Structure 1
Amino acid sequence: MLAVMIVVSGAARAGSVFSFDATPGRLPKTVVPISYSIELRPDAEGVALPGVEVIDVDVREPTARLTLNAVNTTFASVTVDDGAERADVALDAVSETATFTFTQPLAAGAHRLRIEFTARINKFDRGFFFVDYPAGNSIKRLLTSKLEPADARRIFPCWDEPAFKASFALTVIVPRRFLAVANMPITREEMLEPNLKRVAFAPTPKMSTYLFVLTVGELERITTEADGVTIGVVATTGKAAKGQFALDTAVKLLAWFNDYFGVKYPLPKLDLIAVPGGFGGAMENWGGITFFESRLLFDPASNPDSARRGIFGIIAHEMAHQWFGDLVTMAWWDNLWLNEGFATWMATKAAEQFYPQWQSWLNGYGQKQFAMTLDARRTAHPIQQPVANESEAMVAFDAITYNKGQALIRMLENYLGEAAFRDGIRAYMAAHAYGNTTTADLWRALERAGHKPVTEIAASFTEQDGVPLISAETVCNGGAQRLTLRQGRFVIAPARTAALPSRDWQVPVAIGPVGAAPSPDIVLLRGHAEMPAGSCGEAIKVNLGDIGYYRVEYGPASRAALTKSLPQMSTADRVNFLADSWAMVQAGRAEPPSYLALVEAISVDDRRPVWDQVITVFSALNRLSRDRAERAALQRHARAKLRPVLDRLGWDGSGSGDDDDTLLRSSLIWTLGELGDEDVVAEAKRRFARFLGDPQSLPGALRDSVTHVVGVAADRAIHDTLLVLARKSTVTNERLRYYHAAASARDAALAGATLALTLTDEMPGTIVIGMINSVAYSGEQPDLAWDFLQKNYDALFAKLGPQFRDQFIANFMTNFSDEGHAAELAGFAPVQATSGGRVMTGRAQETIAISADLKARALPAIDAWIRARN
C-alpha cells in the first residue's frame, strides 16, 4: 500500500511554559516557603495531632498579612523571627486557610515563622488518619497519611499547592514499640519517658506538600540495597515477608527507570508501605509510597498467581511517579494528567518489558475503551482542564485523566519512535528536576527530540474534549481500490438532545491490510484524505494495531470485507473492530443487533481479550435489562454464547495459574453465575462446600469467582458463613473477597443486613464503599441501598469523609437508568455543596440518561433479533 503523509497547518494551542507567578492557585504568592521543620506528637487514642513547626519563608514584598492553608486546626501561638512579634490568626473554613496578621509589615527578605498547633487524626482517608485492623484476637491501630490533592493542610499549616515546593525536616514522638516511616531515612532516635521515643528524619529535597508521608504503628520492614538506594517493604507485624515479590519488583524497576529517565532516583531510600485499610489504591509519596495492603502483599496461600500482575502494575505506576510527579511536578491540578497519564502509560510499558507473556497492552485494551466512552459525552472534559479549587481537583482523578492520557502518550510514542520519545523525556527530566512544569514544557522537549510537529497534534487532544471519529470506506475503480477517510466527532448522547460542537484534530491514523506485517502506513489526518488501498475487495483496517485514540466507522463495503476477514486479523485488531462496533451501537450510529451478529463470527477458541470484550457488553446489557421483560431471552442468549467457551476451558484446566486461559475461566464463571447458569451456580456451590472443609481443594485462581457466584445465590446460612470467614481472616484480600460476596446476595433481607453492618466499627471506610456498591450492583438492590444512604447520610459522612458527599453518591446513582432517579440525585442537597460535587452530579445524571436511552433503543431490538433466530 502506498505510504501517504498529509501534513496540515494550523495554529498550535500549546499553552504556556511554567511560570510561578502565572500558575493558578488560591494562595497569594507574596510569601514563599523555603523549608519546614516539623515536630508532631500523634495521640492515637485521643485522635489529636499536636505539633510545632518552624518555617523559613521568603517574603517577596512587604506585607502584614500572611495566608496559608489549614483545616480543622487550632492554633496556640504564631510568632515570627524568634518571637519578635506574635500574629493574630483568622480561620476561613470555606477556603481552608489561616491568615496571620502582624502589627507591622514584614520586610522583604528571609523570615522565620514558629507555629504551635493541634490538628486532627481522621477516621477517613484524608490528611492523617487511623486504620483499625484485626491482628490475631485483637484490634490494632495504625496511623498513616494520604494528602493528594490538598490534604497536607489537615496535618500541619502549610502552602498546600504544588507550585510551592520546599524541603521538610520531620520529627515525631511515638510509642517505643512503633516504627515510624517518612519520606527520608531516620537520622536519630532518642528514648523518652514514659515508653516514648523521638524519631528524627533527614530533610527532604524540595517537593510539593502533597508528597509528604508519615506512617506509624506496629510495623516491620524488609530491605535490600539496589544502585545505592535502600529499598524496603513495610507492613504490619508478621506480614512483611509477603512483600518479597514487591521488593524484587521494585529492585528491577529502579534500575530500569534510572536508565529510561536518564536521571537516577535521587533519594537514599524508597519504602513501599502496606496499609491494611483506609484507602483502596496507592499514593506516590516521595520515598514512601503507601498501598492498600492487598495491592502490595502477595501470599500464594491466599492470592491467585495472577495477582502478581496487579501488584507489578501498581508498583510500576507509583514508582514512575517518583520521577514524573515527584521530581518534576505539574504546576497546578489543570495539568494533573502529566502525572497520572504518564505513570499509567509507563506501568504498562514496564510490564511489556519484564513480563511480555502478560501482553499488557492487549489485555488492558479496556482502559482506553472506558476513557473514550466518557470522552464522547457532553460532560467530558479536556485532559488539560481548568481546575478552580481542591474539590474540582479531587474529581479530576478520572479515566480521562489517566486512561486518555495514557493512550495519547502511547500514540505519540508510536508516532515519534521509541528512541526519539525517550530522548525527549530525558531532556524534560534533566531540565526540570526539582521544579514544576506545564504540558507545554513536555511538548517542547518531545518536539526538539523527535523533529516532528508534536505540539499541534498533542494540543488537539489535550486542550479540547472529545473523541475523533474516522469514517472509512473503500471504493473500487477498475481493478484498484481507493480508501476515503473523513474526520468527525464521535458522540454518545441521548436522543433528542442538542448536538455537541464540532472538533478538529490532527490524528496519526494507522492503516494497513488485514493479515499484513504490523508496519502500517501513518496518515496525519485533519479533515479528509483519499489514497490507494490495494486490490478490490481487500480488507483494509484503520487503526491497525489499536494504538490510536479514535473511533472508526466503516462504510458497508469496508465493514463487509473486514467481517469476512475477522479470523485473519490480529487479536488486537479483532478486539478493536468489536469495540468500535459496539461503540457505534451506543452512539446510535448502528442497529443493536449488528454487534450480536458480529459476535456470531467469533470462534469459541478465540483469545481472552476478544471474549472479555464480549463479556463486557453482555454484562452491560444484563444490567440494563434488570426488571425488564427482555432479560430472560437476553440471558439465555448470553449463556449460549459464553458457556461453550467455559466448557472448552473446563473448570480444572492445566496452566501456570497466571495465563490468559486461567483468567478467562475465572471471568466466565463469574459472569455465567450472574447470568443465572444453573450448572455453573451448582458447581460453584459444590466446590465452595468442599472448600469449607478443605481450603486447599479450591485453587487460588478460582476463589474470587466461585465465592462471588455463591454469594449472589446465597441464602441466610451461606451469607452468615461468608461473614464468619471475613471476620476471622486477618488477610485483607480474603476479607474483601468474603465481605463483597456476602454483599452480592440477591435476597433483599440479606442485603439489608449487609447494609446495616456498614454503620458498625467492623470494617474500614474502603470496605464500606465496596459493600454498598456490591449490594446495589451485584446484589441488584440499588433502591434498597439508595434508601439506606439517604437515611444514614450523616453517619456515613462522618465515617467516610468529604469524598462520600462529593464523589461516591453521584457514582453510586449510575446504578440507575431512569429519569426519576436522576431527578432525585439533582434534588439531594449535599451533593451540591462543592463545585466538584456539582461536576460529579452532572456526569452521573448524563450517565443515567444515556443508559435510559440505550435501554429503550437496544433491548427491544436485541430481543426481536434473538427471538427471530430461535
Structure 2
Amino acid sequence: MMAFTRRNLAAALAATLVLMLPVSGSVAAERNYSFDTTPGKLPKTVIPVHYAIELTPDLEKLSLAGVEVVDIEAREPTARLTLNAVNMTLGAATIDGDTQRADITLDAAAESATLTFTQPITTGTHRLRIAFTARINSFGRGLFFVDYPTDQGIRRMISSQLEPADARRIFPCWDEPAFKATFALTVTVPRSFLAVSNMPVAHEEAVNSDLKQVTFALTPKMSSYLFVLSAGELERITAQADGVTIGVVTTAGKAEKGRFALDNAVKLLDYYNDYFGVKYPLPKLDLIAVPGGFGGAMENWGGITFFESRLLFDPATNANTARRSIFSVLAHEMAHQWFGDLVTMGWWDNLWLNEGFASWMQEKAAAHFYPQWRTWLNGYGQKQYAMALDARRTSHPIQQPIADQSEATTAFDGITYNKGQALIRMLESYLGDQAFRAGIRNYMAAHAYGNSTTADLWQALESAAGKPVTGIAASFTEQDGVPLIIAETTCNGTEQRMSLRQDRFMIAPARSTSANDDAKVLSPRHWQIPIAVGPLRATQPAEILLDGSAEIAAGSCGDPVKVNLGDVGYYRVEYGPRSREALAKSLTTMTPEDRVNFLADQWALVQAGRTELASYLTLTEGISADDHRTVWDQVIGTLSRLDRLARDRSARPALQAYARARLRPVFDRLGWDATGPDNDDEALLRSSLIRALGEFGDVEIIAEAKRRFAGFVQNPQSLPSALRDTVAQVVGISADRASYDTLISLARKSTVTSERLRYYYAAASARDATLARATLALTLTDELPSTIINGIISAVASSGEQPDLAWDFVQQNLDALTARQGPSFRDAFIPEVMTNFSDETHAIELAHFAPAQATSGGRVMVARALETIAIADDLKTRALPAIDAWTKTHNGR
C-alpha cells in the first residue's frame, strides 16, 4: 500500500478544487438575463407554449406509457428540435398532424432527444405530437413508486419529484426553468385511486371496471420542474381560505393527522397574500403526504409534496415540539408558491432567489404566528452552518455558475439556503421592514408568471427603500466567503473608542503552495457590511455601513462593547484582548442572542486556528445551568464534535468525563420529567442532554433509558411522546442483540412513518460491529423504504461509529445501491458518507474513487468532502492535545 502524506492530501484537494473554479471575469449570475441569454443547454429557437399530456402508469410493471401534444413556437425556420428526455423510449414524433415524421436521436449523456425533420418547419406556431414510454423509479426522481405498510398489508402509490431537472424522466419536455408553458394532464389510474396534480380535477370517467381517466384543469404558465402527480389509495380533508381550497392529502386513515398543517396553511395563505401583495392565483393548494420515495418537501405549484413525517402530527406518537418543524417546512414550501413558482429564477445560478427567500420567510412567519418559539434565536444554527461552509476553499458565491443538471443538484446546500436567508434578514434590518416589503411587492408584481434574476430584486428593493442595496448585496452574493470584523477598544481618559476593520475569515488547513489555484481560492475579499455595534446596555446600537475600516465612539472606558448586537449580521467578530475580556466578564448579562453569537464566534476562531481551545472552554465555564436552550445546544454541539474527533484516541475517556461533569448539572435541573407545565425549549433541551449524556457514556442515563424503554415495550403509554425518540436513540447506541431485535421488531410492526424511522435509526446507531453489519444488510432488502437507506448507512457510520464497515459495504454493493437509489447515491451520498473520516488515507481513497467523480456535480461534492476531512484532521491534531491538557485540570469541577 502506498504511503500518503499531508502533502499528498493537499495535492489531491488542490487538483479537485481546480475543477470548481468559476469562469474568468464577472460571475455569470450577476447579469440581468433576457430569455435569449439565460444559460442552459437547450437552444431557444423553438419554445413550448402548452403541453397536453396523457399518462398511463402500470404499477405492476413499473412502466409509464404516454402521449403528449405540445404547442410550440418556432422563432426561426429549423429542421431540428432538441428537448430533454432521459431513461425513456420515444415512439413516433410528428409535426402538425402527419405532415412530417421526425427521425429521433437520443443522447443519454446530455439527457436530450433531437428530432430531425426532412423539411424545416416555418417560423410561427406548430403542434408536435410524441408517443413515449418511461419508467416508474424506485428512487425519488421523476415518477416513483412507494410501497408502504398498512393494517391490510403493503400498498403501493406513485408520486413525482422533479426539481431540478427530472420532468424529463416522465415526459419529453424543455426541462429548464426559463421555458414556461401551460400544462393539461390526463392520467389513467385504478378506480380506487385518488389522483392529485397542480390543478383541480376537471373531469373523471370510468375506462372499465378497474381503471378510470382523470383530467385536470389547465395550469398557469409554469416551469416544468413544478409539475406534480400523486396517485394512490388516498384521502383528503379541506378548508377554505380567501376563495382557495386548501387540502391535506394522505394515505387512507391518516388525514386527520394533517389537521395541524391544514389549520396553519389557512393562516399562512392569508399572511402571504398580504405580505407579497399578490394573491395566490390557483383555485386550490394541496399538501400531499408521501410515506416514502424522497425525504423532504417540494413546492410544486398547487400540489406541495411532503415526506409524511414532515407534514403529519399525531400527539399520540409525536412530541409537541414536532409542530415547530412541521410549521417551518410548511411555511417554507408555501412561500415558494410566490418565490419560485409565480416568479421563477431564469436559471439555476439564481436558485437562491427561491431557497434563500423561502428559508427567510419560514422564520419570519413563525416569528409572526408563534413568537414564543423565538424562532430566530433557536434557529441560530442555520446561519452558523452556512458560515462554516462559507469559510472553506470549496465555498461558492450565492450566485454561482451552473453548467448542467448535475451541478444544479449541488447548489441545494447550506450556502444557497442558509447564507441566502441570513443575507435577506440582514438586508431587511438595514432597509427597514416596511421599505423591504414594498420592494418585494414591486418585484412580485413586475415579474409574475415570468422569470427573474437577482439584479431585478436589487433594483426593486433599492427603488422602494431609497438606500443603496446593490453594492451591499452584490458583495455578499457575487463572491464567496465570510467577513471577519476585527474589533478593539482604546481609552482616552474616560472616553472609549472602538476600531473596526474587515478581513476574510477562513478555516483552511495548511496545504501545498505549489497548486496554481491557491491565489484564486485564497484571494482577499471586500464587503460593504451593515454593522450593529454598541455597549451591552445600549438601548439603540450604532448602525454603520462598514466599507473597509472605521473608528467609533464606544461609551465609557471599560464598558463591554459588542459587535453584531442581536446576531443579525452575517460576519464573524474577533475582539482584541481588552474587548474580549470585558465581554467575557459580562457574558451572563448579554441577551441569549448575543451570548450564543459570542460563543459561536469564539468556537469558530478555534476551528480557524486564530485562538486556543482553552479560551473557548474557559468562556463556557461562565454559563449557568439555567441558561437558555440555544446556549447549551452550542456547547453540546461543540463537545460532541470534539468527542467524534477523539474516537479511538486515548484522550476520549477524559473528554467524555469532562463533558458529563459539565452537562449533568444542567440535566439534573430539568430531570427526566417536567414537574409543571413544560415549555418547548425545556423539552428540547432535556432531549438534547439525554442523548448527549448517553453518547458520552453516562451510566445512570443509559440505565434509566433502558429501564424506561423496557416499560414502554410493555405499556406504550408509560413513556411520554416527547422522550420516545431520545430514549430509543440511547438504547440503540448501547444495544445488545436483544434490544436491537426489539427495535427492529417495533419498526416492522408500525404503520406510522415517524415511528418506523425512530426505531430503524436507533437500531442503526448500535456500536456493536455485528449489529452494524445486520443493519447494513437490511439496506439491500425491500424492508426499508428507499427514502431512508442513505440515512441508515450514514447512521451506521456516524452514530454507530462504524465508518469503515459502512464504506466497505458501499464499495462492495455499489451497483445494487446505485440502481435502487439513483444517480445521487454515487454523486452526493458517497462523498457525504466519507466525511465520517478524519484521516488522509481515506481522503486519498475518495479522491481516487472514480465512480464518485463521473459527473461535474460529483466532482464538486468530492472536493467538498475532501476539505471536510482535511479540516477535521487539522482540528483533531490541534484540539485533542489541548483538550487532554484541559481535562487533567478541570474534570470533576
Q: TM-score, normalised by structure 1?
A: 0.98
For residues 497-550 of structure 1, give each alpha carbon's deviation from its aligned partner in whole angstroms, at most 9, with x where no partner exists.
Answer: 557111000000110111333x32111001110111111110000000000000
Q: How does 1:754-769 map to 2 (within 5 A)?
A: 754-769=775-790
Q: Distance in 2 between matches of 1:455 and 1:14?
A: 14
Q: In the TM superposition, what are the counterparts of 1:323-472 in structure 2 within 5 Å? A: 323-472=338-487
Question: 1:617 is paired with a residue of what secondary structure?
Answer: helix
Q: How many angstroms apart in 2 are the aligned matches of 1:236 and 1:656? A: 34
Query: Which residue matches 1:230?
Result: 245
- The alpha carbon displacement at 1:75 in A equals 1.4
The one-letter code matched in structure 2 to 1:561 is A
Over 3 Å counting, the alpha-carbon distance change for 1:849 and 1:649 in structure 2 is same
Does the Cα contact within 8 Å between 1:13 and 1:463 map onto a contact in 2? Answer: no
Residue type of the alignment partner of 2:746 = L
Determine the structure 1 residue equivalent to 2:670.
Answer: 649
Alignment of structure 1 residues 26-425 onto 2, 5 Å: 26-425=41-440
Given that residues 13 and 456 in structure 1 are in contact (C-alpha distance below 8 angstroms), is that contact kept between their aligned partners in structure 2? no
Q: The residue matched to 1:604 in structure 2 has which SS?
A: coil
Tell me the alpha carbon deviations over residues 42-87 of structure 1, each in whole angstroms, 9 at most, x when there is no partner: 0011111000100000000000000000001111200000111110
Q: How far apart in 2 are the matches of 1:836 and 1:89?
A: 28
**CA drift at 1:479:** 1.3
Amino acid at match of 1:531: I
Shift of residue 866 of structure 1? 1.8
**Alpha-carbon distance, 1:658 to partner:** 4.8
Aligned to 1:7: none
User: Secondary structure at 2:286's aligned position in 1?
Assistant: strand
> Would the aligned equivalents of 1:14 and 1:459 in 2 still touch at CA under 8 Å?
no
Matched to 1:714, the amino acid is A
Per the alignment, residue 600 of structure 1 pairs with 621
Pairwise CA distance, 1:17:
2.3
- The aligned amino acid for 2:362 is A
In structure 2, the CA distance between the partners of 1:254 and 1:654, relative to structure 1 (3 Å rule), is farther
Cα deviation, residue 861, structure 1 = 1.1
Q: Partner letter of residue 515 of structure 1?
A: R
Unmatched tracts of structure 2, length 5 or more: 1-25
Q: Which residue of 1 aligns with 2:16?
A: none
Measured after TM superposition, the shift of residue 655 of structure 1 is 5.2
> How far apart are the structure 1 equivalents of 2:297 and 2:648?
38
Are 1:830 and 2:845 an aligned pair? Answer: no
CA contact (8 A) 1:59 1:107 kept: yes
Unmatched tracts of structure 1, length 5 or more: 1-10
- Rounded to whole Å, the distance in 2 between the matches of 1:332 and 1:658 is 44
Tell me how far apart the structure 2 counterparts of residues 799 and 220 of structure 1 sit (CA, whole Å): 29
1:580 pairs with 601, 608, 627, which one?
A: 601
The alignment partner of 2:396 has SS state of coil
Q: Find the residue that maps to 2:524 and give its secondary structure.
A: coil
Q: Secondary structure at the match of 1:42?
A: strand
Q: How many residues were matched structurally?
A: 859
Query: Is the 8 Å Cα contact of residues 28 and 400 (structure 2) preserved in structure 1?
Result: no
For residues 258 and 825 of structure 1, the distance between their equivalents in structure 2, rounded to whole angstroms, comes to: 48
What is the alpha-carbon distance in structure 2 between the residues aligned to residue 332 and residue 399 of structure 1?
19
What is the rounded CA distance, in whole Å, between the counterparts of 1:144 and 1:658 in structure 2? 37
- 1:20 corresponds to which of 19, 30, 35: 35
- Paired with 2:709 and 2:210, the residues of 1 have a C-alpha distance of 48
Between the aligned partners of 1:707 and 1:426, the Cα distance in structure 2 is: 47
| Inter-partner Cα distance in structure 2 for 1:425 and 1:120 | 41
Q: Which residue of 1 aligns with 2:19?
A: none
The more displaced of 486-495 and 190-199 is: 190-199
Residue 868 of structure 1: CA displacement?
3.0
Q: Aligned match of 1:709 in 709, 730, 741?
A: 730
The answer to whether the Cα contact below 8 Å between 1:34 and 1:166 also exists between their aligned partners in 2 is yes
The question of 1:613 aligning with 2:628 is answered no
Amino acid at match of 2:534: G
AA of the residue aligned to 2:35: F
Q: Distance in 1 between matches of 2:504 and 2:587?
A: 26
Tell me how far apart the structure 1 counterparts of residues 686 and 505 of structure 2 sit (CA, whole Å).
34
Q: Residues of 2 paired with 1:749 and 1:574: CA distance?
A: 44
Who is 1:742 aligned against?
A: 763
- The aligned residue for residue 515 of structure 1 is 537
Deviation string, structure 1 residues 602-621 (Cα, Å, up to 9, x no partner): 11111101000001101100
Q: Which residue matches 2:867? A: 846
| 2:30–2:399 contact (8 Å) kept in structure 1 | no
Distance in structure 1 (CA, Å) of the matches to 2:99 and 2:567: 65
Equivalent residue of 1:721, what SS? helix
Q: Secondary structure at the match of 1:596?
A: helix
Match of 2:527 among 482, 488, 505: 505
Q: What is the Cα deviation at residue 18 of structure 1?
A: 3.5
**2:651 is matched with which residue: 630, 633, 636?**
630
Aligned ranges for residues 528-543 of structure 1 at < 5 Å? 528-543=549-564
One-letter amino acid matched to 1:749:
T
Say if 1:86 and 1:204 are closer, same or farther in 2 by CA, change over 3 A. Answer: same
Aligned amino acid, residue 317 of structure 1: H
CA contact (8 A) 1:305 1:657 kept: no
What residue in structure 2 maps to residue 726 of structure 1?
A: 747
Matched, 1:547 2:562: no
Alpha-carbon shift at residue 15 of structure 1 (Å): 2.5
Matched residue SS, 1:547: coil
Instruction: Give the counterpart letter for 1:321 in structure 2.
Output: H
Whether the 8 Å CA contact 1:275–1:291 is kept in 2: the answer is yes
After TM superposition, what 4+ stretches of structure 1 lie above 3 angstroms from structure 2?
11-14, 496-499, 654-658
Show CA shifts across 1:427-469 (max 9, x none).
0000000000000000000000111110000000000000000
CA deviation string 1:240-259 (max 9, x = no partner): 11100010010000000000
Task: Provide the secondary structure at the position in 2 that maps to 1:41.
Answer: strand
Secondary structure at 2:449's aligned position in 1? coil
Amino acid across the alignment from 1:167: T
* Equivalent residue number for residue 816 of structure 1: 837
Shift of 1:365: 0.1
1:589 is paired with a residue whose SS is: coil
Residue identity opposite 1:249 in structure 2: N
Deviation string, structure 1 residues 141-181 (Cα, Å, up to 9, x no partner): 11000000000000000000000000000000111000000
Give the whole-Å Cα distance in 1 for the aligned partners of 2:171 and 2:541.
55
Alpha carbons 1:42, 1:48 under 8 Å: kept: yes
- 1:100 is paired with a residue whose SS is strand
Match of 1:285, SS? coil
Change (3 A) 1:238 1:449: same
CA deviations over 1:706-735 (Å, ceiling 9, x no partner): 110000000000000000000000000000
Deviation string for 1:570-603 (max 9, x for gaps)? Answer: 0000000000000000000001111111000111
**AA matched with 2:254:** K
1:675 Cα deviation (Å)? 0.7
- Determine the C-alpha separation between the residues in 2 that align with 1:163 and 1:210: 11
Aligned-residue RMSD, C-alpha: 1.1
Aligned partner of 2:623: which letter?
I
